[in-house]
Chains A and B, each alone.
Chain A
């Protein structure tokens, strides 16, 4: 019995050491995407406009996912692939910045949602959208989420005369800003944020 325990322990040690050199089974279909590009179009509105905030009050302006004022992007890409969406800030994160005084900022809570179940219009996409928890600004998602069942067979490689099936992914941007306190170098004026949305194919490779 004692010998068995020792043997198990040795095997465990070997497993841990050997595992550094182990590889997962991953099949990279990315080369099959060929020259197909991701097509992105801005929705209307493309600017998240919060109207006005009264200084030194508790006023907060919110734009919800359901609101017609939520900004959105429509992505069209080959249905069988994964895409990665990274969001980064040109202006300070979670702030709106005075257009004349970069040191003057007001709080801004950006929220972000996506829909990838093949929705054809904005309202359907909003109904199915998944809202990311706060602080998550990078996602890798399938262009067309499988509703269940077995995985699909590998996609047909791109060749002349073959139309690669495409699907839509929708990205929504909304959130809230305020309240504004004049005690932090903040004065009246126009405040903005610029958010870059990077979209690219993901693939799994060594």
Chain B
């Protein structure tokens, strides 16, 4: 009888027990996804190119080898596995000085390979280049080049590397 009694009480009362503080805080969680009809092809920078430590090849010239130098930049192309991709890039760029009037000219050199093995990469001769993504949808690109300091003053020089990739 006691058991039955206590059960009856808790059943009847419990819905009215819980009241909440009217003062509350609201936080928002956003959720996002993209729906695409084709594997997007994209480029991710894994390492920036640095000319510190580049080899001097002339009085005013530094060289970073895309195949041999640890200072080479590294990018990874990602897309549909096994697909053929065309890449084009602008190989020559002039970097104006941030603080001064000087400028630095860079002539980029690229090498590429389907695995992340820099020493096995092959030099890309043209500004337009075609390659096949590996079975995981990746292809690796290393970036080096010649840095020509024709009219240079002490300071920082900053520029950008423009590359375009698309499926064929």
Contacts and interface: CB of A to CB of B under 8 A. Distances in A.
B34 A24 contact: no
Interface of A: 8, 11-12, 15-16, 19-20, 22-24, 26, 30, 37-38, 40, 42, 46-56, 61, 71, 73, 84, 90, 96, 106, 108, 110, 140, 173, 177-178, 180, 186-206
Considering residues B20, B25, B29, B38, which has the most beta carbons from chain A within 10 angstroms of its beta carbon?
B29
Rank and list the top 7 A-B pairs by shortest CB-CB distance, nearest first.
A200-B24, A50-B33, A193-B31, A201-B21, A52-B34, A48-B31, A47-B30
Contacts of B162: none
**What's the dominant secondary structure at chain A's contact region?**
strand
B59 interface: no
Contacts of A194: 28-31
Chain B contact patch, size range: 20 to 34
B32 A49 contact: yes
Interface of B: 1, 4-5, 8-10, 12-14, 16-40
A47 to B, nearest CB: 4
Given A47-B30, A47-B32, A30 B40 contact: no
A140 B34 CA distance: 34
Contact of A55 (B25, B29, B37): B37
Contacts of B40: 52
